[in-house]
């Protein structure tokens, strides 16, 4: 076992998928000889040839449209959208065709394609390079939406996404690309659609995903100084959402805070808070809180530390959970 970055885990997952299944094809802007702007596909074109790992023009709609056709003919395309908001020109393809084809053909035709999207902030980028656009995909029936927070999940969930018979939007948190963890590959961390508890606690549940998981864990450690024992859930898959794991935790703790980088209004936290309220109302000791990005376009680099949810904002939300009502 050695220390591996999330970027290396993703690269290894793609290499193993190419090796194991000749139907797997990678393409996108600069992913060939360059290996991608974040080097996630580094060395794959040299190893597998430019028929299985190749560059495309700067035309995201064409990239995804090509993937639709290839998937219909039996390939398993894995496409890269270079930055989060670069994917917007392809959104029409995604909503009108990728998400609907199985339903439209009464189950006869699925689209086994994976759309990799580096997303989120914390790297000094600006808007269009640091967006958290997951709610658009979560709100589109027919898509599975996945985001890892660890190198192990990056490898395992990407392999499972590529193996899925239906389309998967695979969101890669950019600021976690270079975090290291001791890991031996290959690894299997469980199926799509399953959340995990990263830290057990009794006083409240922090619900996070992708880049916010690290911040939530830091907040949970800091909360211990206040006497709060916080549980941290990593959702891992946003659609379908693992209601069972979330609700079981909230029913134990009686309190919940949802943490994510995306904007708050009509964001992922709004849906999660509503589902918790519907399913756990009689177990709640306080309203569900949200700690999110603000309802503005992603700010310039010097301001992003104010925009992104931090430990202090999470602790402020935890402090507002009516602690005087904690049962003995």
* pTM across the whole model: 0.96
Per-residue pLDDT reduced to its tens digit, 117-142: 999 999 999 899 999 999 999 999 99
Q: How many CB atoms lie within 10 A of CB 141?
A: 10
The Cβ-side half-sphere exposure at 231, using a 13 Å CA radius, reads 23
Q: Which of 129, 203, 260, 263 is catalytic?
A: 129
Per-residue pLDDT reduced to its tens digit, 274-316: 999 999 999 999 999 999 999 999 999 999 999 999 999 999 9
| pLDDT reported for residue 322 | 77
Local structure of residue 129 (DSSP, 8 states): S
pLDDT of residue 328 exceeding 70, the answer is no
Q: Domains in the chain, start-ordered, CATH in brackets?
A: 2-183 (3.40.50.970), 196-320 (3.40.50.920)
Local structure of residue 149 (DSSP, 8 states): S
Q: For residues 216-245, give the mean pLDDT.
A: 97
Mean pLDDT of the chain: 96
129 annotated active-site: yes
Torsion, CA 155, CA 239, CA 176, CA 117, rounded to 10: 90
């Amino acid at each position: 076992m050695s220390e591996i970055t999330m970027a290396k885990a993703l690269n290894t997952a793609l290499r193993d998928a190419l090796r194991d299944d000749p139907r797997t094809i990678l393409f996108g802007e600069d992913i060939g000889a360059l290996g991608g702007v974040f080097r996630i596909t580094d060395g794959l074109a040299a190893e597998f040839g430019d028929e299985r790992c190749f560059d495309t023009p700067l035309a995201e709609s064409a990239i995804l449209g090509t993937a639709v056709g290839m998937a219909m003919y039996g390939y398993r395309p894995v496409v890269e959208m270079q930055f989060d908001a670069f994917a917007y020109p392809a959104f029409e393809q995604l909503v009108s065709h990728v998400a609907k084809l199985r339903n439209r053909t009464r189950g006869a035709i699925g689209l086994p394609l994976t759309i990799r999207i580096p997303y989120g902030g914390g790297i000094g980028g600006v808007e269009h390079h640091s967006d958290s656009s997951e709610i658009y995909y979560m709100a589109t029936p027919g898509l599975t939406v996945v985001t890892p927070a660890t190198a192990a999940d990056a490898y395992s969930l990407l392999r499972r996404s590529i193996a899925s018979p239906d389309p998967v939007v695979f969101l890669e948190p950019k600021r976690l690309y270079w975090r290291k963890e001791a890991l031996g590959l290959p690894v299997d961390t469980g199926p799509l659609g399953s959340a995990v508890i990263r830290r057990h606690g009794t006083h409240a549940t922090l619900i996070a995903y992708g880049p916010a998981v690290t911040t939530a864990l830091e907040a949970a450690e800091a909360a211990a100084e206040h006497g709060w024992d916080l549980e941290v859930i990593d959702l891992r898959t946003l659609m379908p959402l693992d209601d069972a794991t979330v609700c079981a935790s909230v029913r134990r703790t009686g309190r919940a805070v949802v943490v994510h980088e995306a904007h708050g209004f009509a964001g992922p936290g709004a849906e999660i808070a509503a589902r918790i309220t519907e399913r756990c109302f009689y177990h709640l000791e306080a309203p569900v809180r949200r700690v999110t990005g603000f309802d503005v376009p992603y700010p310039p680099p010097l301001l992003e530390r104010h925009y992104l949810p931090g430990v202090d904002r999470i602790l402020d939300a935890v402090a507002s959970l009516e602690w005087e009502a904690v049962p003995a």
